[in-house]
């Protein structure tokens, strides 16, 4: 029978097929993550360490020092510029593969080895498509909109870089005193680009999408900011590095579990223990609230009303094509990444391991490996020995590994939500925002402020 041969060739949709696909998905993610962070790492090493060192070596005087310092100051922006396009390519591929996994399909698997290069091909296609400005559109606004949508995602996440690299000297100067507030202010700008683009397209579907996105952003910004403010109250600071540092030392010190309320609770008094328990519970609720509001802020399903493909064609980006559409696409995925990073830094302990002992072991291993490399390789290359040492900062390396793990877990969680939930209706969305989330966030703000004193 032909059917039996077919069943032998293609694994039946069952647990084996799913495990096989899951293995492929994990392999793909690991490969892409290695490419992304290898590229970012090498780029920032070149700009921040190697080039300034070479310039100061071969050019004498104050000028060389000045140029070297300028290059070092450029490191954060260069690493962000390198990171954003590659990361967006990976996230699109990851999203398609993961959705395929959740709906028992195969996903893109033709371009390159097992579909690894699918989004690279998509990007090339988008760049070569014709860039159309529709008839009757406001040309200046139409061009400006994707830029306004995209620019904040470059500059907005800079203070977070200091936190996720554990205050590495090359990145520590982007750590502003108003750190997290700056990130929030910048992440509120993109909606202006959406409304602008939707109005300038001279298209009714776009306009409806833009109006929806404006209403949604204005409503969901409040619970988002309030949940972040609650964390700032707990930490007593707006400085992201300080907030990240306070969460070091184990799972229970993370803000999502009460920010050390459980470990600092006075075991002698009942009040203190109960307060600590309630506080950790409210922090978990707070974290969920942040995730919901952030999901709405970056227009992901179930809050993707602005682009709602089945109702509004494609909402605000109906009329966009070619490179402008690519920029919209890029910014959307970068924003998802940024809100996940904010969640990691504010709630999930940033670069801290779940168990403090893990951190020590990992840093120790990396340090001893480095020392070994220094002794065996550095001796042979003479002066270049310090270059190897400057390549890896053990603390930063371990912290970055944990941050990558946490952030991409949140991204995969967002994709899981996308694959699971249907879209809100606009009135349900408004009701949920104003009648549930905002009162809940205010209650939590007051409750956590009081509980913090009781613990």
Partner 1 sequence: MENIISFSQATVEPIMFYALVLLMVPLAFGVIFDRSIIRAGFILIGVFGTISGIFLLLQAQFLAMAQIMIYAVGITLVVVIALMLTNPTLDEDRAPTQAANRLPGFLIALLVFATIFLAIRSELWPMAPELIQSDPTKAIGYFLLTFYSLPFEFSSILLLAALIGSVMLAKSDRAPMKTEKGNAKALAKSTR
Segment lying near partner 1 (by CB under 8 A), choices 185-193, 353-361, 425-433, 437-445: 185-193
Q: Which is nearer to partner 1, 39 or 189 (CB)?
A: 189
Residues 259, 251: Cα–Cα separation, whole Å: 9
Q: Which is nearer to partner 1, 97 or 324 (CB)?
A: 324
Q: Is residue 111 a contact point for partner 1 (CB under 8 A)? A: no
User: Are 56 and 65 in contact, with CB atoms under 8 Å apart?
Assistant: yes
Rg (CA), the chain: 24
* Residue 154 beta carbon to partner 1: minimum distance, rounded to whole angstroms: 15
Query: What sign does the CA torsion over 34, 35, 37, 42 have?
Result: positive
Q: Is residue 195 a contact point for partner 1 (CB under 8 A)? A: yes
| Residue among 33, 43, 99, 211 that touches partner 1 (CB under 8 A) | 211
Interacting residues with partner 1 between 138 and 167 (CB under 8 A): 138, 141
Q: Which is nearer to partner 1, 188 or 321 (CB)?
A: 188
Q: Is residue 221 a contact point for partner 1 (CB under 8 A)? A: yes
Instruction: Region of 315 please: left (phi>0), alpha (psi -120 to 50) or beta.
Output: left
State the DSSP H helix or E strand holding residue 247, giving kind and residue range, or none if neither: none
| Residue among 109, 188, 242, 374 that touches partner 1 (CB under 8 A) | 188
Number of residues in contact with partner 1, rule: CB under 8 A? 31
- Name, in order, each residue with C-beta under 8 angstroms of 57's C-beta and a sequence gap of 6 or more: none
| Residue 63, token pair as written in the block | 């000028």
Q: Which is nearer to partner 1, 199 or 254 (CB)?
A: 199
Where in 117-187 does DSSP place strands (E)? none
Which of these, 162, 217, 210, 211, lies nearest to 189 by C-alpha position? 217
| Residue 328, token pair as written in the block | 């919209």
Q: Is residue 381 a contact point for partner 1 (CB under 8 A)? A: no
Q: Is residue 25 a contact point for partner 1 (CB under 8 A)? A: no
| Residue among 217, 342, 407, 411 that touches partner 1 (CB under 8 A) | 217
User: Are 90 and 33 in contact, with CB atoms under 8 Å apart?
Assistant: yes
CB neighbour class for 305 (10 Å; exposed up to 12, middle 13-18, buried from 19): buried
Residues 406, 344: Cα–Cα separation, whole Å: 6
Q: Is residue 34 a contact point for partner 1 (CB under 8 A)? A: no
* Residue 156 beta carbon to partner 1: minimum distance, rounded to whole angstroms: 11
| Residue among 84, 137, 163, 196 that touches partner 1 (CB under 8 A) | 196
Q: Where along the sequence are the contacts to partner 1 (CB under 8 A)?
A: 66, 69-70, 72-73, 138, 141, 173, 176-178, 181-182, 184-186, 188-189, 191-192, 195-196, 199, 207, 211, 214-215, 217-218, 221, 238
């Amino acid at each position: 029978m032909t059917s039996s041969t077919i069943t032998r060739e293609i694994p039946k949709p069952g647990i084996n097929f799913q495990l096989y696909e899951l293995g492929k998905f994990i392999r793909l993610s690991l490969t892409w993550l290695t490419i992304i962070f290898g590229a970012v790492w090498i780029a920032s090493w070149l700009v921040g360490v190697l080039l300034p060192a070479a310039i100061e070596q071969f050019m004498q005087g104050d000028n060389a020092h000045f140029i070297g310092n300028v290059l070092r100051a450029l490191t954060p922006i260069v690493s962000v510029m390198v990171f954003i396009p590659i990361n967006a390519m990976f996230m699109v591929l990851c999203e398609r593969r993961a959705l395929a996994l959740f709906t028992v399909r195969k996903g893109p698997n033709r371009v390159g080895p097992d579909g690894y290069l699918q989004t690279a091909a998509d990007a090339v296609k988008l760049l070569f498509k014709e860039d159309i400005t529709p008839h009757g559109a406001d040309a200046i606004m139409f061009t400006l909109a994707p830029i306004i949508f995209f620019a904040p995602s470059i500059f907005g996440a800079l203070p977070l870089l200091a936190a996720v690299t554990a205050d590495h000297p090359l990145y520590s100067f982007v750590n502003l005193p108003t750190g997290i507030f700056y990130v929030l202010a910048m992440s509120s700008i993109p909606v202006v680009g959406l409304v602008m683009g939707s109005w300038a397209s001279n298209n009714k579907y776009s306009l409806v999408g833009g109006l929806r996105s404006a209403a949604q952003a204005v409503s969901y910004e409040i619970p988002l900011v309030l949940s972040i403010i609650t964390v700032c109250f707990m930490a007593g600071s707006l400085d992201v590095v300080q907030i990240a540092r306070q969460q070091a030392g184990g799972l229970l010190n993370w803000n999502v579990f009460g920010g050390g309320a459980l470990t600092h609770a006075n075991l002698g008094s009942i009040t203190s223990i109960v307060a600590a328990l309630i506080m950790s519970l409210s922090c978990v609720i707070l974290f969920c609230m942040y995730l919901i509001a952030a999901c709405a802020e970056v227009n992901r399903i179930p809050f993707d009303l602005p682009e709602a493909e089945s109702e509004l064609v494609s909402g605000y980006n109906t009329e966009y094509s070619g490179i402008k559409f690519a920029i919209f696409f890029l910014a959307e995925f970068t924003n998802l990444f940024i809100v996940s990073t904010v969640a990691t830094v504010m709630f999930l302990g940033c670069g801290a391991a779940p168990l403090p002992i893990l951190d020590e072991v990992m840093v120790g291993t990396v340090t001893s490996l480095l020392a070994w490399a220094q002794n065996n390789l550095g001796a042979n290359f003479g002066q270049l020995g310090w270059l190897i040492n400057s390549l890896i900062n053990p603390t930063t390396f371990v912290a970055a590994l944990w941050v990558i793990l946490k952030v991409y877990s949140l991204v995969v969680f967002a994709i899981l939500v996308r694959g699971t939930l249907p879209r809100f209706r606009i009135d349900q969305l408004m009701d949920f925002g104003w009648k549930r989330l905002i009162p809940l966030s205010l209650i939590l703000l007051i409750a956590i402020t009081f509980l913090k004193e009781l613990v």
